[in-house]
Amino acid sequence: MGEAIGQSLATAVAVAISPFPIIAVVLMLATPKARVNGPAFILGWLLGLAVLGTIVLLLAEPADPSESGAPATWVSWLKALLGVLLLVLAVRQFRARPGPDEEAALPAWMGRIDRVKPPAALGLGAFFAAINPKNFLLVVAGATAIAQTGIPAGQQAVAYVVFVIIGSVGVAVPLVIYVAMGERAPKTLARLKDWLGLHNAVIMSVLCTVIAAKLIGDALTGLTA
């Protein structure tokens, strides 16, 4: 199980520090419904990760390692595909970064987040966790890394729970700041939002490049073993 956690650790960290979900939580915590919408978003996030990861683990269950100990061939091809897609995403993110004198452009829906109700906050959390293309690729990569170790299903589940916990740290931090800092929280969260918005493209391009390199390297190792 330790190997499974280790194989998926870098991907879990990448999920955790994805900027836009964190910005969404920060914006929700600045609204009158902060105490409801913030936890609802995080609950949706946890559900999204749980559902997507469970699907991947169930689909990958037949992918036992070969007799040589290498991952099943189709797992290696899947890793290669995910790596290439993440490289494409990294290039697109880097090219979309704001210039030195430009303000970071946030999605239009973020300007309407003060009107979001708890069910919508729950849905947004699930969307960012499992449907948003960046996270989708990262979560599939992480769950696949766990599955390809060939450990029993119970241990895979525990390893994926660890993945979810680590991957949820980023969206949980603003809520912790909101509860712990009281009246000082809004200024701290505003600075966090501005910094993440400015550096979102660069952060994600670097993360996607690093994870892509690992996935492609693992795929080449598996295919040539």
CA of 156: how far to CAs of 10, 23, 100, 206, 211, in Å? 17, 31, 45, 28, 21
* Structure confidence by residue, pLDDT tens digits, 25-75: 988 888 888 889 999 999 999 999 999 999 999 887 655 555 444 556 777
The per-residue pLDDT for 72 is: 66
The yes-or-no verdict on residue 132 having pLDDT over 80 is: yes
| Rounded-to-integer distance, Cα 45 and Cα 218, Å | 28
Q: What is the pLDDT of residues 79-121, one digit of tens each?
A: 889 889 989 988 888 887 776 666 666 666 676 777 788 899 9
Among 78, 223, 76, which Cα is nearest to 140's? 78
Give pLDDT, residue 204. 83
Q: b/e per residue, 95-109, with b = 16+ CB within 10 A? A: eebeeeeeebebeee
> Residue 206 and residue 167: Cα distance in Å, rounded?
17
CB within 8 A of 122, min separation 6: which ones? 40, 41, 43, 44, 47
